[in-house]
Structure 1
Amino acid sequence: MNLMELVEKSKDIATVKRVFGEPVRHGDVVVIPVARIAQGGGGGQGQGRGDKGDEGSGSGGGYGFAATPAGVFVLKDGDAIWRPAVDVNRIVVGGQIVAVVLLLTLRAILKKRRRTR
């Protein structure tokens, strides 16, 4: 597969339907899921001699795609309300970082107090 084929296939992946999912209806309420989409690709090529004097050549390519939930739009009674998705993992990691910084700060303060006595 060459690089141009890879680029063409990647266009099909990052579509509006991937960002905005199919609406879900429940009575008079419509919920539209929304996602954050990230994609990237790259390629390479090489020619010439290798380090050991043997014939060199090369090729390469790659593509990455990631989607994470962003939230939902709730349509009810003519109003559109945004409800963001809560990323519990991000909250937990943030709390751990704050706790580590707090503990290191307390440690430094206690060490300084011991030296001044």
Structure 2
Amino acid sequence: MTYLDVFRLAKDTLSARTVYTDPCERDGVTVIAAATIHGGGGGGSGTELITEGAGFGVCARPAGAFVIRGSSVRWRPAIDVNRLIGTIGAVVIAVLITRR
């Protein structure tokens, strides 16, 4: 894989199509799901044995969905229960430590 292949892959991966799904409609309600995406890449060249190299990584998480009913649009955030429990636990521990 060359540098140009990695850049093309990154361009195709980090697009609006990746963030927003195709609209799904049922019973007059349209839902468009959305995600947050983080990506990174790197590359380099080497010696006679390794002429070039490149890599790319992506992390995606659900963010929520737009719900469309008639002319009304509402944002419904996705709730990450594991992250919520971890945050509450960290706050409880911090409060217990600072109360001493």
Give the TM-score, by structure 1 length: 0.75
Distance of aligned partners of 1:11 and 1:56 in 2 relative to their CA distance in 1, 3 Å threshold: closer
For 1:20, the equivalent position in structure 2 comes to: 20
TM-aligned CA deviation for residue 58 of structure 1: 5.8
Secondary structure in 2 aligned to 1:22? coil
For 1:94, the equivalent position in structure 2 comes to: 87
Tell me how large the CA RMSD over aligned residues is: 1.9
For 2:8, the equivalent position in structure 1 comes to: 8
For 1:77, the equivalent position in structure 2 comes to: 70
Greater RCO (Cα-Cα under 8 Å, separation 6 or more): 2
For 2:45, the equivalent position in structure 1 comes to: 45
Q: Structure 2: which 5+ runs fail to align?
A: none
Q: Identical aligned pairs, as a percentage? A: 37
Deviation by residue 1:49-108 (Cα, 9 ceiling, x = unmatched): xxxxxx8756432110111111110110211111111111211111111122122223xx
Secondary structure in 2 aligned to 1:98? helix
One-letter amino acid of the structure 1 residue matched with residue 38 of structure 2: A
Worse overlay, 73-82 or 96-105: 96-105
For 1:33, the equivalent position in structure 2 comes to: 33
One-letter amino acid of the structure 2 residue matched with residue 69 of structure 1: P
Q: Structure 1: which 5+ runs fail to align?
A: 48-54, 110-117
Secondary structure in 2 aligned to 1:30? strand
Distance of aligned partners of 1:24 and 1:56 in 2 relative to their CA distance in 1, 3 Å threshold: closer
* Partners of 1:57 and 1:38 in 2: CA distance: 29
Secondary structure in 1 aligned to 2:46? coil
